[in-house]
Chains A and B, each alone.
Chain A
Amino acid sequence: MLKALNTESATDLAEISDEELMSRYRDEGLEFLFNELVHRYERELYRYLSRYIGDPALAEDVFQNTFLQLHLKRGLYEDGRPVRPWLYAIATHQAVDSLRKVGRHPTVSLDQKAGRSDREGEAANLIDLLVGDDSGPLSELQDQERVQWVRDSVERLPETLRQTLILAYHQDLKYREIADILKIPVGTVKSRLHAALAKLQQMARVAKRDEKE
């Protein structure tokens, strides 16, 4: 019976937007609608959680709990509200929670300064930094060394910068979606992103200097 329902709906399902799926799941509670949402976000959300948390097993737990929360909170869903940022917000919340439970406390202190500074001038300096440094301090590293450097260095970023960086660069989310997920102004998203890049570039320079010594 359930299977028949699944097969019947399979063809049209792909046409339905995330938002409509969510509204219908809220109202009708049918498994196949939920199933479709989980499958749509399987790769994308797992990639996010796995990179953010750094532990595949824990990422899987958080993934499962994120969708449990989506199910439990379905009554709160408002028609037309974009599902992607909502889902990411739940996932991020669950991820931070789980990191705390395993003893990694994401630092929440941060760059209040950055939000207020002159972003335009800052961006120009940042780009100068990024393109001006001969061919970039990392270009001399072997690829294997470089990716290891990236992993280690991103890991050392303050939590909020790392979070924003992953959402913007690796997950390809728009600034306003990130703002929605993290409940911060769009300007803060940009300043965090710039701060993250500037910090990484600074670390790269230091790494290069150390190597020369």
Chain B
Amino acid sequence: MRKNDAMNADESLDYLLGNLEAHERGVFEHRLQTDPLLSERLDQLGASLNRLLDDGLTHDPPEGLATRTVAFVAQEKGRKIHRPFHDHSTGRLPYRWADVAVAASIFFVGVLTILPLLQYARDRRNHAACAFNLGQIGQKLTQYASLNSSYPYSPDARPDDPAGTFAVVLHDAGLLPDLAVLDCPYNGACEHPVAQLPRYEDFKGIRNSDPERYRRLTGLSDYAYHVGYRHPTGEIGPLESRHAGVIPLIADKPDHDDHEAVKPGNSPNHGRRGQNVLFSDGAVKWLKTRFVSPQDPDIFLNNDNLAQPGTHAQDSVLLSSDTPFQGK
């Protein structure tokens, strides 16, 4: 009897997953018609499997995937040396503009199919350019930190200065010649980056004299910056150079609601799919979620779930450039 149940159980599952051979299937279906108990159990099992496994996701392929793939392989055929599978963590991408042009000349591709292809190539290039920007800023931050005891912070130690002050400080130190690196090229939001940065001394003055310009200046970057943490003394202050093992320093900025609070989810910069993050060891990584490490589960919030400086040195919090170092 027990043996019989076991057989049925195994068969029921195999039946539901389409794993019975044609003749076994025939026999089983005949039993189903004659055995209401078996049939009822099968229904329950099916419903149970569905509850346990249906994840509600359809995973439709992106537009033009097959076409791009054929073009990609055609273009790879053209080269003798095969590059290794590309590495997301370095932001090097296998498929670039020039590649599309080559592929397009090899293949007959209609105008309608090539448009998404170009859009795609542009997205990939911009994604890589964003990682490149972060790498550039990273070099300068490392240089700054090696000359100073901490990473850039409000020169007046004012926690109500905006996080974007880091760019002013780097600029003052002659470490930020090209302001375009402050713009994530993927999102297109910051189309007119700030042409010139004032010195910190003037920057302070503008706060009262020209609030509109100050607002524009503080919103200067698409990147969020490490706003420091609460030191054992109880004071909040910058990330010290000596602490920087592998700590996130800048990243695509978080999303904000109308009250400027940090919204859940990934950065809006890359269509909420994730964020590029620069670590203090110089690596740029693509994080698909806000999770950094068990000590630092949220890159945009501290361990008290607030958009405020970290609760300890390993609890990094990266805030948008117009948010004060002290948070909201």
Q: Report A's interface with B, CB cutoff 8 A.
A: 2-3, 31, 34-35, 38-39, 42-43, 46-47, 50-51, 54-58, 60-61, 63-65, 67-68, 71-72, 94, 97-98, 101-103, 119-121, 123-124, 126-128, 130-131, 136, 138-139, 143, 146-147, 150-151, 154, 165, 168-170, 172, 174-175, 193-194, 197, 200-201, 204
B72 at the interface (CB under 8 A from A): yes
Q: Does A121 contact B94, Cβ atoms closer than 8 Å?
A: no
Chain B: CB-nearest residue to A46: B61
B47-84 residues at the A interface, CB under 8 angstroms: 47-49, 51-62, 65-66, 68-70, 72-74, 76-77, 82
Contact of A68 among B19, B53, B72, B108 (CB under 8 A): B72
Those 8 A-B pairs whose CB atoms lie nearest each other, nearest first: A147-B56, A127-B9, A46-B61, A131-B44, A50-B59, A124-B6, A120-B6, A123-B10
6 contacts between A and B (CB under 8 A): A64-B72, A136-B52, A150-B54, A154-B53, A193-B13, A194-B13
Are B65 and A42 interface neighbours, CB within 8 A? yes
- Bound-state CA distance A154–B36 (Å) is 32
Question: Contact at A103–B89, with CB atoms within 8 Å?
Answer: yes
Contact of A197 among B52, B57, B107 (CB under 8 A): B52
Distance A204 CA – B50 CA, assembled complex (angstroms): 13
Q: How far is the CB of B68 from chain A (nearest CB, A)?
A: 7
Q: Is B85 in contact with A65, judged by CB distance below 8 angstroms?
A: yes
CB distance from A30 to the nearest CB of B (A): 12
Bitwise, B216-260 to A at CB < 8 A (1) or not (0) is 000000000000000000000000000000000000000000000
**Number of inter-chain CB pairs below 8 Å:** 157
| A169 interface neighbour in B53, B70, B94, Cβ under 8 Å | B53
B17: contacting residue among A46, A169, A201, CB under 8 A: A169
Is there contact, CB below 8 Å, between B54 and A124? no
Closest chain A residue to B64, Cβ basis: A42
Query: What residues of B have a CB within 8 angstroms of the CB of A123 in the complex?
Result: 6, 9-10, 13
Known: A123-B10, A139-B51. A42 touches B94 (CB 8 A): no
Please classify the interface of chain A as helix (H, G, I), strand (E, B), loop, or mixed, using the class held by over half of its residues. Answer: helix
**Min CB gap A115→B, angstroms:** 15
What string of 1s and 0s marks CB contacts (under 8 Å) between B3-29 and chain A?
101110110111001110000000000
Does B31 count as interface, using CB distance less than 8 angstroms?
A: no
Nearest Cβ on chain B to A25's Cβ, whole angstroms:
11
Question: What residues on A are CB-neighbors of B56 within 8 Å?
Answer: 143, 147, 150-151
Residue B210 lies at the interface, judged by CB distance under 8 Å to chain A: no
Report which residue of A94, A98, A119, A136 has the largest number of chain B beta carbons within 10 angstroms of its beta carbon: A136
In the bound complex, do residue A200 and residue B273 qualify as a contact, i.e. CB atoms below 8 Å apart? Answer: no
Q: Which residue of A lies closest to B71 (CB)?
A: A64
B88 interface contact, C-beta 8 A: yes
Q: Is the CB of B59 within 8 A of A169?
A: no
- Within 8 Å by CB of B3, from A63, A120, A151, A170, lies A120
Decide yes or no whether B86 CB sits under 8 A from chain A. yes
**Could you tell me the distance between the alpha carbons of A50 and B82 in the complex, rounded to whole angstroms?**
25
Question: Once the chains bind, are B69 and A64 in contact (CB under 8 Å)?
Answer: yes
Cα A47 to Cα B57 with chains together (Å): 9
Given known A50-B59, A63-B65, A101-B89, contact A124–B73 (CB-CB < 8 A):
no
B55 A47 Cβ-Cβ under 8 A: no
| Contact A124 B5, beta carbon cutoff 8 Å | yes
B70 touches A35 (CB 8 A): yes
Contact of B53 among A56, A71, A97, A150 (CB under 8 A): A150
B153 interface hit (Cβ, 8 Å): no
Q: Which of A56, A61, A121, A201 contacts B6 (CB 8 A)?
A: A121
Are B62 and A60 closer than 8 Å at their CB atoms? Answer: yes
CB distance from B126 to the nearest CB of A (A): 13
Given A63-B61, A102-B89, A131-B48, 12 new contacts (CB under 8 A):
A31-B74, A42-B69, A43-B61, A46-B60, A47-B60, A51-B55, A64-B68, A71-B73, A97-B85, A101-B89, A147-B55, A150-B54
